[in-house]
Structure 1
Amino acid sequence: MNKIIYKNKMEFQKFETYTYVEDKHVSYLKQLEDFVQKSSFLPHYHLYPKTGLMNDPNGLAYFNKQYQFFYQWFPLEPHHGMKHWGHYKSSDLVHWEDKKIALIPDEEYEKNGCYSGNSIEKDGLLYLFYTANYKTPQGKIPKQAVAIMDKVGVIQKSKKNPIIDGAPEGMSGEIRDPFVFKRDGSYYMLLGAKDEHEVGQLLLYTSQDLIDWVYQGIISLPIDKGYMLECPSLIQVEGKDVLIVSVMGLEKEETRYQNQFSTIYLVGKLDISNKVFYEEYSDEVDSGFDFYASQAFYGKNNVPMMVAWFGCGQQELPSDKDMWKHGLTMPYELKLKQNRLTHFVASELLEQFKKKQSFHNEKITTKSNTYHLSFEVCNHKDEMSIKFGYLKDYWELKFDFNRDHISVDRSNLDIPVDVQNGKIRKTKGLNKNRYQVDVFVDNSFVEIFINEGEKSFAFRAFNMTTQHHDVIFGWEAIGEIAYYQAVGF
């Protein structure tokens, strides 16, 4: 029998880790959803779980004239449990319809969860690829599966699942996160993996029909692959291949790889025949505390885009007590700038920040907890900082022009956030004396972009009231502030 915990007149049930949602849970989930809506930390323009824990974005697509955003989800509790797929859809990236659960792990081959994957359209159908998590006392047996969604929205798992069963020679049972793409008339699948020597690898499969897959081998990558590669994405941006991978086990550096896990991009060319990625430039995608497992996809009019999990690893957050955890980043449009991948807020969402107000002051006070602040930082002195919050409860954005470093410091927050993984995140600057800075605050979600996404920081900060922030520059700053106007969902 489930253990019941009483809090604020809401009865919280306790579940076994590998519990999947059934009809008997519907009433409880509705109560839980009502409870979550009372949380003071909820965002307005970031997608979040209506209950429980959200992590990796999955199956991102522009299909049937709508954006389809799927995501890993444990609906019953705010921690990593049995993974389902949730589903939001939107025609404009602003107004979202919650389609609830898309995939329930109720088949034997996926008895430990429906894990991450991507989607691809074929013959008017959207093929949703995912890892069927299957554990045994001897270890994992990797299995890949597919479900197919029609234009009405009906999703059916393939009767031929698992479409890939087991590991190639030399690989461990840690193989996951299929990313399928089409090139030169054939379909290809990338899979993140760990080999028998505890080294991360990127595997390649091919197919003609998206069902029968043939193993091709390991793709050679010119980067440190840690002990595991996850969540690969491949997308073309301005005629070049961009490969994005999430890496476990990278050694921390002063200005890179400071999170528990890191997400890396490579710009160049994937040579499928020789299974080599030729790199022209690579870097960490984001330098904040809460960015991982990103997925690239083509949006409306074939615009290259990306969304990431607004989280990283195992974390305890203040929102846990409100029975929800994590979210997704804003949708980004991808561009190249001197071979550097940039990501900035999708234009549809950016347009919702209206009633812009100019300022020229050392301090401003915002009028709400959902705003976009835009300003320039010029090299007036070697070190410059901007504080966001209140006298004894603030986070800080810092520019060290002497050392060419940019950092975010959460040391002075009244509510500590994930302090065991550090309070400061730092990245190497762009060797410039002037930066364009865009700060998006969405209650407890913060995203900062330097020079429209040449550098970025995504992170959580729980120092928001329903009224305002004080923003203290320490110099006569010139900029604009705009507030989010639309009702998202």
Structure 2
Amino acid sequence: MVILVYNEIVQPTEYDLLDLADARRRAALERVHNDHDYPVWHIAAPVGRLNDPNGLVYWHGRYHVFYQWGPYVPEAKAVYWGHAVSADLIHWQHVEPAIAPERWYDKDGCYSGSAVAFGDHVTCLYTGNVKDPSGARHAYQCAFDMTEGGGAKNGVAVRGEAGRSLSAQKADDALPIWRCEKWPDNPVIPVIPGGYTAHFRDPMVFGRPGDSFSASPDAAYRMCLGAQRANESGAIALFSSPNLRDWRFDGELQFAGPDAEELADFGFMWECPNIFTLKDEVSGRERTVALWCPQGLRRDGERFQNTFQCGYVIGDLDGNVLRNCTRFRELDGGTEFYAPQCFAGPDGSMLLIGWAGNAGEDGLPSLTSAGWLHSLTLPRKLTLHGKVVRQNPAPTPECFGAQFEISADGLPKDGELLPLGGQRAWRLQFITQYDEQAMIRIEAGRCSLDMHFEGGTITLDRSQTLYQGAGEQTSAIRIATFAPDWRSGDAVVVDCIFDHSVLEIYLNGGEVALTSRVFLGEDALKVFCTADGHPMPNDMTCTLPR
């Protein structure tokens, strides 16, 4: 890559690339903050394309979220790591990007990876993507360290105008400067083991010294990667290391149990694996959860309706074998959800953030209208209840904003929620009944979105919105059964979060979660909530951002 600086063609350093990308980010801030589709509670890049969350970590009192970022999309596809920070998981501030694709081992993209926090630094592992002149792909597993403070940024001292710096962190940002520096001896895994294609990526460190996954001092750290075998089937590769630098290939994650047969032929590639433990709230036992994204599954009724899928199995990890594993269960029933990553919060709880998008879905209206694509989900807290991983919004209720009650007695006949009129971000919580025909409707001029809850099924109808999905397995109307075992008279607890163009629905304490992108245009919004064609008979709790 070359750039033009003061009419001179120069070979840029990584600092130049990061600074140019950051200048592009800053230039877009005013535009997106006035954009009717740009979210206030969800992470979305101000410009270009965002996809997988990476390197999620809580460190020195802040949550750090890195993410795949293409700052020049649609003109160019160079993949950087963007960087956002928060103290409360709801108010995010974008800072300078962390790394750029400029070394021989990552020149065609800095792909997904994970983070390990230490006292004075954070080590992140990622996949460097390279394509040779013939177009053949090569994958290298690489690392960089993030440190805090000092007078340097991204491995190079901050330069003033005389040094042709295009941007620097503003003094009023009230944030430290984080320095990210790639390891000089990269890549840490330069060779793919035999039997696999170059689709070998997304390193996730899941075992650390002293925890239940750490096998020995020589295998103090354990790591899983998404892989494609030479026969074009998917797998999870396992590695171990005493120090994060010297890695040994330990084979594949294997599955054992009556429900494991389905996984023997389960797509052509497995991406973004996570392995972690949760305490089963039913039995009190510690169980292992393996979560990943299989590609190439065909739709099976209400299963596997998206372009690519994401789900998990639960079992008991014994070396490389996950014993007593359950059937693969999709994590999110919505139309846009992929590539989640899990990490530990400061209290030890397991948190998750996903990408509110999917492959082949770059035709969103926001790219044309405001130059940005995609968002992440809200951070979710995970708990285990038998065979189900429950998900609920991780930010505390007060972080969302001002909470108030909407009385059912005061609703107009059409069920319009007048306090939500014109509001582009809100959270609505209420209880309906299994056998009621409950509906939430959002209108904006000629556009509308309908959410129907009835008989243990949710129907999401985007047919009257400006974006109705993409891909042969995705349709404008999504039907998902969330309660096949419930009976008439059972309560359904609904937690619906709408944030400009991002919709998240959580049912019955997080038993089911659905994420979708919803574009309704610029007209003022109206929100209606009814049951059996009449105003919702129960009081509702509403939250608006401050």
Q: Does TM-score exceed 0.5, indicating one fold?
A: yes
Alignment of structure 1 residues 45-444 onto 2, 5 Å: 45-78=41-74, 81-122=77-118, 124-136=120-132, 137=134, 139-152=136-149, 153-181=178-206, 182=208, 183-184=213-214, 185=216, 186-221=220-255, 222=260, 223=263, 225-238=266-279, 239-272=286-319, 274-276=320-322, 278-280=324-326, 282-315=328-361, 316-321=363-368, 322-348=370-396, 351-360=399-408, 361=411, 363-365=415-417, 366-367=420-421, 368-380=423-435, 384-390=438-444, 392-401=446-455, 404-413=456-465, 415-420=466-471, 421-430=474-483, 431-432=485-486, 433-444=490-501
Distance in 2, matches of 1:72 and 1:416, equals 23
**CA spacing shift, 1:483–1:114, aligned 2, 3 Å:** same
Distance in 1, matches of 2:429 and 2:545, equals 17
**CA spacing shift, 1:28–1:192, aligned 2, 3 Å:** closer
Is 1:458 matched up with 2:512? no
Aligned-partner SS, 1:217: strand
Provide TM-score, normalisation by structure 2. Answer: 0.80
Cα distance, 1:253 vs. partner?
1.9
8 A Cα contact 1:353 1:372, kept in partner:
no
Aligned-partner SS, 2:27: helix
Please give the per-residue CA displacement for 1:378-405, whole angstroms capped at 9, x wherever unaligned.
Answer: 1345x5543222575222222342xx43
Question: How many positions carry a matched residue from both structures?
Answer: 464
Provide TM-score, normalisation by structure 1. Answer: 0.89
Is 1:485 matched up with 2:545? yes
Please give the per-residue CA displacement for 1:257-283, whole angstroms capped at 9, x wherever unaligned.
Answer: 1000111111222222x4345413541
Distance in 1, matches of 2:23 and 2:147, equals 28
Q: CA RMSD in A?
A: 2.3
**CA spacing shift, 1:406–1:485, aligned 2, 3 Å:** closer
Aligned-partner SS, 2:44: coil
Cα distance, 1:56 vs. partner?
0.4
8 A Cα contact 2:36 2:424, kept in partner:
no
8 A Cα contact 1:352 1:485, kept in partner:
yes
Please give the per-residue CA displacement for 1:180-223, whole angstroms capped at 9, x wherever unaligned.
Answer: 12233510110001111110010001000000100011111433
In the alignment, what sits opposite 1:14? none
Aligned-partner SS, 1:36: helix
8 A Cα contact 2:239 2:251, kept in partner:
yes
**CA spacing shift, 1:355–1:240, aligned 2, 3 Å:** same
Cα distance, 1:74 vs. partner?
0.7
Residue type matched to 1:283 in 2?
A: R
Unaligned 5+ residue runs, structure 1?
A: 3-19
Distance in 2, matches of 1:301 and 1:358, equals 33
Q: Which moved more, 1:132-141 or 1:324-333?
A: 132-141
Distance in 1, matches of 2:84 and 2:193, equals 35
Residue type matched to 2:194 in 1?
A: E
Please give the per-residue CA displacement for 1:463-487, whole angstroms capped at 9, x wherever unaligned.
Answer: 265743221422342132423334x
Percentage of matched positions with identical amino acids: 28
Please give the per-residue CA displacement for 1:129-159, whole angstroms capped at 9, x wherever unaligned.
Answer: 1000111226212210011112432211111
Structure with larger Rg: 2
Residue type matched to 2:460 in 1?
A: V
8 A Cα contact 2:51 2:375, kept in partner:
yes
Please give the per-residue CA displacement for 1:399-420, whole angstroms capped at 9, x wherever unaligned.
Answer: 342xx4322121222x233255
Distance in 2, matches of 1:317 and 1:70, equals 22
Unaligned 5+ residue runs, structure 2?
A: 3-15, 150-177, 280-285
Aligned-partner SS, 1:116: strand
8 A Cα contact 2:112 2:201, kept in partner:
yes
Distance in 2, matches of 1:309 and 1:113, equals 18
**CA spacing shift, 1:167–1:109, aligned 2, 3 Å:** same
Aligned-partner SS, 2:325: strand
